[in-house]
Structure 1
Amino acid sequence: MSDVSDPCVTPGGARPASGTRAMVVEDEVELATLLGSYLERDGFEVTVVHDGLSAVATAREVDPDVLVLDLGLPGLDGVEVCRQLRTFSDAYVVMLTARSDEVDTLIGLSVGADHYMTKPFSPRELVARIQAMLRRPRAGHQAEAVVASRTFGDLEIDPAGRDVWLGGRPVALTRTEFDLLAALSGHPRMAFSRRQLIDAVWGPSWVGDEHLVDVHVGHLRRKLGDDAAAGRYVRTIRGVGYRMGTGR
């Protein structure tokens, strides 16, 4: 396990031959070390940092696949770290917070966090949830590599390349937003429940508040210039969940 103060930190150039890169960003040194140890035991290449400014700089170097990010950091808080991270990385982000109120949770999710956990929590559960995220179906996985682009009015989705265009202009989506759109557009006549979308995007082993889906659908709609009333691209099906709109 590497710390930013350790001269043996792996440079950002070569990705390890085996293992997935994880970063733990936590100012509680003992907790950070504990989480790093659990991740290392599970086969991750781990880098640990303890403040927000170091987190952004180090993420640019090591190019992590997943970030465990504390909300209450010195320097830059977790929300600002996540905002900056999303300008150059699509790493999975698990936000940690010591505050259980919904506002903090929604703030974390609004900047592109994929999941959140409230302290105290089990390190084993954290690792299990990270593994579930990494295993979850991707629109670009082998089974969908030959799927043609999908068009809904001005919206075009390329599942294999994980690209989205609206009116010919590219739309920047987070991994989670793209996976939601891919799930909906893959079965455009199907009304998905929140649980079905959780299973498709987060994985069947995910446990938590299913209204997490609503938050990400809201972000997706905003990026597509859509809203619940119009339902041009994502329609709300009352009493059920969501389905793909026609684009008109």
Structure 2
Amino acid sequence: MISSLVLVVEDDEDIASLLERYLARAGYRTTKASTGLAALAQVLRLQPDLILLDIGLPDIDGFDVLTKVRANSAVPVIFLSAMDDSMDKLLGLKLGADDYVTKPFNPQEVVARVGAVLKRTKGVAATEVIRHDEIEVQLDSHIAAVSTEKGRVELPLTATEFRLLVCLLRSPYKTFERTSLLDACLPESDALDRTIDTHIANLRRKLAERGQEGYITTVRGIGYRFARSTGA
């Protein structure tokens, strides 16, 4: 199952990066734009599943962006605004926004609202499952398991190992740099890049203990790829 793509439209790079990290940690794909015109181009090119849209953009404001989006698309939109004004909220909803979040916000709340809006507008299943060969991950229940001849066996993963497995499973055969895996799995940590090596080693061991040897290939000098190899 392909995860939902969220377009983050925000001219503050720190805020945009923070939202991307939390969304990625929750299992969403992300892309971003820092201007209204760039956002409109992304909507046409990528057709995102949801837009997080800042109102105060440097070229055209979020209200104008939403108006132009709604001329051709029903994609869900959540406004992000520094203005806690009931008239602005009313205007946003009248123009077709699905929700409105006031800054400063808790990024976990934003992620929760993204999930709620997607579920409400698209009928997203309560449980998203990612599978690759005999390996399966259930995102909302935070369960990872493998299928064996004796049946389904759960993997006793830590939270970081679970996020790491989800990240790798979403893009099998893609080579991930250590820094990108660290951002996806430990976004608030000050850990060094090589910390990922320890988590990878533990994840490999737990997969191998349940008959899934050889997954997660080391790409020398770069990072890791989720692909079966006897020399991993």
Of the three residues 49, 66, 69, the one matched with 1:85 is 69
Number of residue equivalences: 125
Q: What do the CA deviations read for 1:201-226 (whole angstroms, capped 9, x no partner)?
A: xxxxxxxxxxxxxxxxxxxxxxxxxx
Matched, 1:99 2:83: yes
AA paired with 1:129? R
- Structure 2 unmatched ranges of 5 or more: 126-232
Identity of aligned residues (%): 42
Q: What do the CA deviations read for 1:10-36 (whole angstroms, capped 9, x no partner)?
A: xxxxxxx62111100001110001101
Q: What do the CA deviations read for 1:146-200 (whole angstroms, capped 9, x no partner)?
A: xxxxxxxxxxxxxxxxxxxxxxxxxxxxxxxxxxxxxxxxxxxxxxxxxxxxxxx
**Aligned with 2:65: secondary structure?**
helix
Matched with 2:58 is 74
> How big is the shift at 1:82?
0.3
Q: What do the CA deviations read for 1:64-117 (whole angstroms, capped 9, x no partner)?
A: 110000011111100000001111221110001101111111121121100001
What TM-score comes out, normalization by structure 1 length? 0.48
Select the structure that is richer in helix: 2
Distance 2:121 2:67 in 1: 25
What TM-score comes out, normalization by structure 2 length? 0.51
Given the superposition, is the C-alpha separation of residues 84 and 38 from structure 1 closer, same or farther in structure 2, using an over 3 Å criterion? Answer: same
The answer as to whether partners of 2:10 and 2:53 remain within 8 angstroms in 1 is: yes
Given the superposition, is the C-alpha separation of residues 137 and 64 from structure 1 closer, same or farther in structure 2, using an over 3 Å criterion? Answer: closer
Matched, 1:23 2:15: no
Matched with 1:55 is 39
AA paired with 2:96? G
Q: What do the CA deviations read for 1:34-76 (whole angstroms, capped 9, x no partner)?
A: 1011111111110011011101111111101100000111111
Distance 2:81 2:41 in 1: 22
> How big is the shift at 1:138?
6.1
